[in-house]
Structure 1
């Protein structure tokens, strides 16, 4: 249900921008983005990569990525998708949008794409460069996490330690980190930063460095939050027995929280230092 509300929010935002903002060139790009996203997501549904609601969510996300973010936005998102597939052993990572073993749903799409879409919209409306940096950083975190999972947990299963206690754990344990996984996380974050630099020639080395470093730190934060909270159930009381709210911390929430925190940090740093 939550992903449907997110779908409605971003759809209305895109409609608002199309009607009240932008010029004819912007309108044309948005329409092309919608068309391309519809084609790609329909194919993904047909080959069992996406559920129906997952295809809808990915279609909205893709429309924003190219329609508002242009070639730069589309490039980093495609870089995330394609690289996740390339480094995968047999399956596309559970950290990404798609997976061959089962269809991905809308919640999994937005756990990685929410912050990118939000920051891109704000960047488009305000023209403030810091929001573009924040958007790219969000994808950098997701890519870093995906590469770390695929290479550190599946391809090269080296010694793994829990990030909170440093005790040895089996590869794949939530919050577990290894040398090869950490190295893969660094390269994953740097890969997205390089894509941004390539498709945005005016970008500075400082911006590339910020995106890659904060993207990697976001991956570390993801592991830390996963070790502390993932798969835990919490109950919150609002003053009466009928006001209790039960919450389950899923992998989707951990991904969403870590990408959001890292992208917010990059936004603040960019506004301060002006990269």
Structure 2
């Protein structure tokens, strides 16, 4: 009996030993049996956790609906339009209103400006336009615009023929700053005298008349010269009336002279319609411009390009021409009043 118990115990021992070395040993252990009676180490967080607070962020502003974009553009355009309207109608004009109004006109008329002026010529013309607007308002500015449009048109007339004959303006008829200054120096002086009230109210009308007469003189000179080059059959030297080639300094033609008179009457008439001159002053502008043009032709025939007068180029002669026209108009007006 004792021997059987020993054998039974020995069998159980071998059974447990083989089970512990077998891969299936884990399956023979009870599921609820602890793997170790020793508790494992506890890990602490690096940072203590406090109570979690939810932060409320404000919601992003809503995007404007697409239908509001045209309204924004329309509002901006309306604001610009109102600002330009205020500048155009400012009375008396200020430097700021004159500059902004002139800029708007220059942007709108840039194709015409580029056809008649170089880049530097446009800059000089902008200064002239601003000065004219500041001194005499929109009417004075429109007078300069009329002068520029007609002068550019006749300069471009038969430009290929003029270029072939060597009598055309440089740069394909596009005038530079020296031409702008030479054509407007006297008018700019009259504008400055008017702005700063030189001579008081009694002389304000005289400066306006001199301004108009200077541009009438220059337009008459430009038209007579360009029409004479394009259509003049015979050109005569103004001092001797000897027949000379087209483009000769101091030469005149019947066609060009008649066209110059019409141009002077036209621009003086524009000045009258714009309220810059009266009826009698239209006649004064015509008379002063023709006397000044004759003087310009005489200077060109006797002094220009002559030895000792190399400095007397075409631009300086133009300044003398328009200055004579403006001064004559002022003197004639004073004589008429007297």
- Give the TM-score of the pair, scaled to structure 1: 0.75
The Cα of 1:79 is off from its aligned counterpart by 1.4
**Structure 2 residue 324 is matched with structure 1 residue 261:** yes
Give the alignment of 1:1-275 within 5 angstroms.
25-27=92-94, 29-36=97-104, 39=107, 47=114, 49-88=116-155, 89-91=157-159, 101=172, 103-126=174-197, 127=201, 128-154=204-230, 156-200=231-275, 203-234=277-308, 247-274=310-337
Q: Is the 8 A contact 2:209 2:281 kept in 1?
A: yes
Change (3 A) 1:149 1:24: closer
d(CA) in 1 for partners of 2:190 and 2:283? 19
Change (3 A) 1:42 1:216: same
Change (3 A) 1:249 1:195: same
Which protein, 1 or 2, shows the higher relative CO under an 8 Å CA cutoff with sep ≥ 6?
1
Aligned residue in 2 for 1:6: none
Q: Is the 8 A contact 2:136 2:191 kept in 1?
A: yes
Change (3 A) 1:99 1:133: farther
- Give the TM-score of the pair, scaled to structure 2: 0.62
d(CA) in 2 for partners of 1:71 and 1:111? 23
Aligned residue in 2 for 1:7: none
| Structure 1, unpaired ranges of 5+ | 1-22, 236-246
Q: Which sits farther off after the overlay, 59-68 or 253-262? A: 59-68
d(CA) in 2 for partners of 1:186 and 1:252? 22
d(CA) in 2 for partners of 1:161 and 1:102? 24
The Cα of 1:185 is off from its aligned counterpart by 1.2
Change (3 A) 1:99 1:72: farther
Q: Which sits farther off after the overlay, 214-223 or 133-142? A: 214-223
The Cα of 1:195 is off from its aligned counterpart by 0.5
State the Cα deviation string for residues 63-107 of structure 1 (Å, max 9, x = none).
11223222221122111111123334234999xxx9761643221
Q: Which sits farther off after the overlay, 36-45 or 58-67? A: 36-45
- 2:93 aligns to what SS in structure 1? helix
Change (3 A) 1:80 1:91: farther
- Between structure 1 and structure 2, the one with the greater Rg is 2
- 1:174 aligns to what SS in structure 2? coil
Q: Is the 8 A contact 2:93 2:133 kept in 1?
A: no
**Aligned-pair RMSD on alpha carbons?**
2.9
| Structure 2, unpaired ranges of 5+ | 1-89, 164-168
d(CA) in 2 for partners of 1:40 and 1:252? 29
